[in-house]
Amino acid sequence: MKKIINDPSAVVDQALYGMALAHPDLLRVERDPAVIVRADAPIAGKVAIISGGGSGHEPLHGGFVGAGMLDAACPGAVFTSPTPDQIVAAVEQVNGGAGVLLVVKNYTGDVLNFATAAELAGADGVDVRTVVIDDDVAVKDSLYTAGRRGVAGTVLLEKIVGAAAERGDDLDWCAAVAAKVVANVRSLGLALNGCTVPHVGQPSFALAEDEVELGIGIHGEPGRQRLPMEPADALVGRLVDGVADDLSLSSGDQVLLFTNGMGGTPLVELYLAHGIAERLVADRGVQVERRLVGSYVTSLEMQGMSLTVLKLDDELTELWDAPVRTAALRWGV
Amino acid sequence: MKKIINDPSAVVDQALYGMALAHPDLLRVERDPAVIVRADAPIAGKVAIISGGGSGHEPLHGGFVGAGMLDAACPGAVFTSPTPDQIVAAVEQVNGGAGVLLVVKNYTGDVLNFATAAELAGADGVDVRTVVIDDDVAVKDSLYTAGRRGVAGTVLLEKIVGAAAERGDDLDWCAAVAAKVVANVRSLGLALNGCTVPHVGQPSFALAEDEVELGIGIHGEPGRQRLPMEPADALVGRLVDGVADDLSLSSGDQVLLFTNGMGGTPLVELYLAHGIAERLVADRGVQVERRLVGSYVTSLEMQGMSLTVLKLDDELTELWDAPVRTAALRWGV
């Protein structure tokens, strides 16, 4: 294992130290328990949006803390759920009196710990709701989850519900917007190789030089199918088919198309894949109205990609376009 | 070689196709010869800023085309200089009558081809100037260069001179601002492994599991020294020392500190490294006024990082802070 780190057990804490120094205008970092907080939180009268999950998926979630997106993010150890006390601390830091919405990726540990935190915060009189995202069409149940996993669609959810909270929507409406995103977003990914968790020191899995894993999760969980390596046209075709079929995409639909890198894939490959995906989606008569291309939900240095499609309506498009000011997504301000 | 590509010789062209689809609001792409052009170019009366170089360093340069930065970028084949006809085509696309500044990284092929293009465009009556950046302190001469190499400092140069042009500075003043950046910016990088050029199919070099290469270039050129792997504190210390000594950094200096990833390094490692770098720079009594952290000048999937320091004055700080709207850097708009 070769990584730019010191003690493997201190990676997340030392990265948070650097992140706080890098973005003093956007966020502050509480280190015990670890919470990344929007610089100007709490904001009185605004619904607070909180997410979190295992570290190693950066920029998710800390890179999305800021105006128009998350009020706080709770980074767990690498590929490990944040603890309830982290989440409760986040609620205390950002609660502006209008309620709190917890955005949770569907992994057993995350769901459990966010539920415990919601109960604790609720007992303190905070109005807490939870939305669970499960956009991965690859597998129904896995080592980590009951049901589908939450993957790259999380970025779109956090952006859109963050914009709803920012414009002043109340907790009920934010929860309804979040539910609409979850109902209309699907993802599917593939990996060319595994990644190494620092405190483990060995790759999570190995693929031969001519193999690719379809339907990979963001922790190196087993996918749907191990395939011989194929040209990009064929690989991206599999992702488009999987997502489009599950979402019942049909002619006339308007969508946001998100081509995501898993961390170690060069941008030149992501743009190449995005071009293929747009063409294939358009071939179905579907209109690509908005796009996002880049490595936003990663698995450390894993090489691979995922494709996410969100069906848009006017409200979702308006919320996507709204200003956002975070380390990883920024426009309009 | 496992990459998300089709024909290795078509990688750049197919990536440009995807890039054009991904950013219709920011840029357009001419494919023969290949030029990435700011969507609203040419802008009458504005100095046009053009850069370019081998592909495989994305988002450099195409990701920096847009308001407040580049008017055009000329992408060569992977790790190969753009041709004079690409550069001439870029001049024709973006010349607004106020002159053109060519931003060139110091590699023999790039310098030669941009010089040829400048001569051709000059013969057509265009007022063309050239600035060559050579910020890498690692080596004085190399396989690819006479003198120092141009590396990650290029992003800071393109941002700052782009802001000068955007606010209406004339060609003389833009050239003077560019010269000031070049005089005050230094970089040093390291690699944990090599990368594979698609049409070559084999890694550019190999490092053992316990080796790191200090002073690596952005094409996998040999570095200054091959070292046993060390903790991040020691590695980053070497980069800070190399840059600070060359730049004669001293107590009271104000700087922009840029922690850059080589493409395959997770963001969690970059933030960790950035935290170390800020602390070490501050230990010298130097004030870090601005920062940039991310993978902006890459070598395909290479794992590694570089550190860039730019000495700031009020003018450079103001130009850095000015609005920018590109695929890879965006703020204020």
Query: CB distance from B266 to chain A under 8 Å?
Result: yes
Beta strands across the sheet bearing B211-214: B225-228, B211-214, B185-191, B304-311, B254-261, B287-294
Query: CB distance from B262 to chain A under 8 Å?
Result: no
CB contact under 8 A, A305 and B263: no
CB contact under 8 A, A293 and B22: yes
For residue B57, the Cα-to-chain-centroid distance in whole angstroms is 8
- Average pLDDT value for residue range A313-317: 98
For residue B191, the Cα-to-chain-centroid distance in whole angstroms is 17
Residues 55-114 of chain B whose Cβ lies under 8 A from any Cβ of chain A: 55-56, 58-59, 63, 78
Query: CB distance from A276 to chain B under 8 Å?
Result: yes
Residues 17-36 of chain B whose Cβ lies under 8 A from any Cβ of chain A: 17-19, 21-23
Min mean pLDDT across A102-106, B51-55, B198-202, B236-240 is at B198-202
Helix A11-22, helix B267-283: angle, nearest 10: 70
- Do A258 and A152 meet the contact criterion of CB atoms below 8 Å apart? yes
The secondary element (H helix, E strand) that includes residue B75 is strand B72-78
CB contact under 8 A, A275 and B14: yes
pLDDT at A145: 73
A-chain residues near B5 (CB < 8 A): 231-232, 269, 272
Beta strands across the sheet bearing A254-261: A225-228, A211-214, A185-191, A304-311, A254-261, A287-294
Buried b / exposed e over B310-327, threshold 16 CB at 10 Å, is: bbbeeebbebbebebbbb
CB contact under 8 A, B266 and A271: no
Residue A130 and residue A242 in one domain: no
Give domain status of residue A328, yes or no.
no
pLDDT at B27: 98
Burial of B228 from C-beta contacts in 10 A (0-12 / 13-18 / 19+): exposed
The identity of residue B24, as a single letter, is P
CB contact under 8 A, B275 and A17: yes
pLDDT at A333: 87
Question: How many A/B residue pairs have CB atoms within 8 Å?
Answer: 191
Residue A167 and residue A97 in one domain: yes
The per-residue pLDDT for range A202-261, each reduced to its tens digit, is 988 889 999 999 998 888 777 888 999 999 999 999 999 999 999 999 999 999 999 999
SS (H, E, C) chain A: CCCCCCCHHHHHHHHHHHHHHHCCCCEEEEECCEEEEECCCCCCCCCEEEEEEEECCCCCCHHHECECCECEEEEEEECCCCCHHHHHHHHHHHCCCCCEEEEEECCHHHHHHHHHHHHHHHHCCCCEEEEEECCECCCCCCCCCCCCCCCCHHHHHHHHHHHHHHCCCCHHHHHHHHHHHHHHEEEEEEECCCCECCCCCCECCCCCCCEEEECCCCCCCCCCEEEECCCHHHHHHHHHHHHHHHCCCCCCCEEEEEEEECCCCCHHHHHHHHHHHHHHHHHCCCEEEEEEEECCCCCCCCCEEEEEEEECCHHHHHHHHCCEECCCCEECC
Query: CB distance from A305 to chain B under 8 Å?
Result: yes
Q: pLDDT exceeding 90 applies to what percent of chain B?
A: 92
The per-residue pLDDT for range A87-112, each reduced to its tens digit, is 999 999 999 999 999 999 999 999 99
Question: For chain A, what is the mean pLDDT?
Answer: 96
Give domain status of residue B3, yes or no.
no
B-chain residues near A206 (CB < 8 A): none
Residue B137 and residue B77 in one domain: yes
Query: CB distance from B201 to chain A under 8 Å?
Result: no
Whichever domain contains A255, its CATH number is 3.30.1180.20
Residue A175 and residue A205 in one domain: no
| Cis peptide leading into residue B231 (ω within 30°) | no
**Pairing assessment for the beta strands A48-55 and A72-78 based on DSSP bridges:** parallel
A-chain residues near B15 (CB < 8 A): 268-269, 271-272, 275
* Whole-number Å distance between alpha carbons of B264 and B93: 34
Query: CB distance from B12 to chain A under 8 Å?
Result: yes
Residue where a domain stops, chosen among A139, A156, A184: A184
| Cis peptide leading into residue A84 (ω within 30°) | no
Buried b / exposed e over B197-218, threshold 16 CB at 10 Å, is: bbeeeebbbebeeeebbbbbbb
For B180, residues 6+ apart whose C-beta sits below 8 A from its C-beta are: B315, B316
CB contact under 8 A, A192 and B331: no
Residue where a domain stops, chosen among A151, A184, A217: A184
A-chain residues near B58 (CB < 8 A): 266-268, 271
CB contact under 8 A, A298 and B209: no
Give domain status of residue A2, yes or no.
no
CB contact under 8 A, A332 and B331: no
Domain that holds residue B69: 13-184
Would the pLDDT of A311 be above 80?
A: yes
* Whole-number Å distance between alpha carbons of B169 and B318: 14
CB contact under 8 A, A21 and B275: yes
**Assigned token pair, B194:** 């090599």
Residue B180 and residue B47 in one domain: yes
- Average pLDDT value for residue range B203-225: 87
Residue B177 and residue B192 in one domain: no
Mutation test of the interface with chain A: which of B78, B268, B269, B299, choosing the one with the most A Cβ atoms within 10 A? B268
First to last CA, chain A: 40
* Whole-number Å distance between alpha carbons of A79 and B85: 49
Residue B133 and residue B208 in one domain: no
Give domain status of residue A142, yes or no.
yes
Would the pLDDT of B220 be above 80?
A: no
Burial of A138 from C-beta contacts in 10 A (0-12 / 13-18 / 19+): buried
pLDDT at B278: 98
Residue where a domain stops, chosen among A169, A184, A199: A184
Whichever domain contains A106, its CATH number is 3.40.50.10440
- Average pLDDT value for residue range A51-55: 98
CB contact under 8 A, A5 and B272: yes
| Cis peptide leading into residue B59 (ω within 30°) | yes
B-chain residues near A2 (CB < 8 A): 192-193, 209-210, 212, 229, 303
Alpha-carbon gap: B298 to the closest alpha carbon of chain A (Å): 8
* Whole-number Å distance between alpha carbons of B181 and B162: 12
Residue B108 and residue B202 in one domain: no
- Average pLDDT value for residue range B35-43: 98
Burial of A170 from C-beta contacts in 10 A (0-12 / 13-18 / 19+): middle
Q: Smallest Cβ distance to A263: which of B59, B235, B266? A: B266
CB contact under 8 A, B232 and A15: no
Alpha-carbon gap: B141 to the closest alpha carbon of chain A (Å): 28
Give domain status of residue A228, yes or no.
yes
Mutation test of the interface with chain A: which of B235, B271, B301, choosing the one with the most A Cβ atoms within 10 A? B271
Residue A265: half-sphere exposure toward Cβ, Cα within 13 Å = 34
Q: Catalogue the active-site residues of B.
A: 57, 219
* Whole-number Å distance between alpha carbons of B302 and B261: 9
The per-residue pLDDT for range B100-151, each reduced to its tens digit, is 999 999 999 999 999 999 999 999 999 999 999 999 999 877 766 778 999 9
Which has the closest alpha carbon to A156: A324, A272, A333? A324
Give domain status of residue A71, yes or no.
yes
Which has the closest alpha carbon to A306: A236, A251, A244? A236
Would the pLDDT of A141 be above 80?
A: no
Give domain status of residue A330, yes or no.
no
Could you give the ipTM of this predicted complex?
0.97
Beta strands across the sheet bearing B27-31: B27-31, B34-38, B72-78, B48-55, B100-105, B128-133
Residue A231 and residue A98 in one domain: no
pLDDT at A222: 73
Q: Catalogue the active-site residues of A.
A: 57, 219
Query: CB distance from A235 to chain B under 8 Å?
Result: yes
Which has the closest alpha carbon to B158: B183, B131, B137? B131
Mutation test of the interface with chain B: which of A7, A190, A272, choosing the one with the most B Cβ atoms within 10 A? A272
Residue A143 and residue A280 in one domain: no
Helix A108-123, helix A84-94: angle, nearest 10: 50
- Do A239 and A215 meet the contact criterion of CB atoms below 8 Å apart? no
Q: Measure Cα distances from B218 to A303, B79, B107, B269, B297 in Å.
A: 20, 9, 11, 19, 8
Which has the closest alpha carbon to A219: A136, A159, A122, A288? A136
Q: Which residues, in sequence order, are bridge partners of residue B78?
A: B55
The secondary element (H helix, E strand) that includes residue B239 is helix B232-246
Residue of B nearest to A25 (CA): B290
| Number of structural domains chain B divides into | 2
pLDDT grade for A300, boundaries at 50, 70 and 90: very high
pLDDT grade for B204, boundaries at 50, 70 and 90: confident
Would the pLDDT of B317 be above 90?
A: yes
pLDDT at B221: 78
* Whole-number Å distance between alpha carbons of B199 and B32: 20
Residue B175 and residue B190 in one domain: no
Q: pTM for this one?
A: 0.97
CB contact under 8 A, B266 and A5: no
B-chain residues near A267 (CB < 8 A): 58-59, 63, 263, 298
CB contact under 8 A, A266 and B266: no
Give domain status of residue A60, yes or no.
yes
Residue B93 and residue B121 in one domain: yes
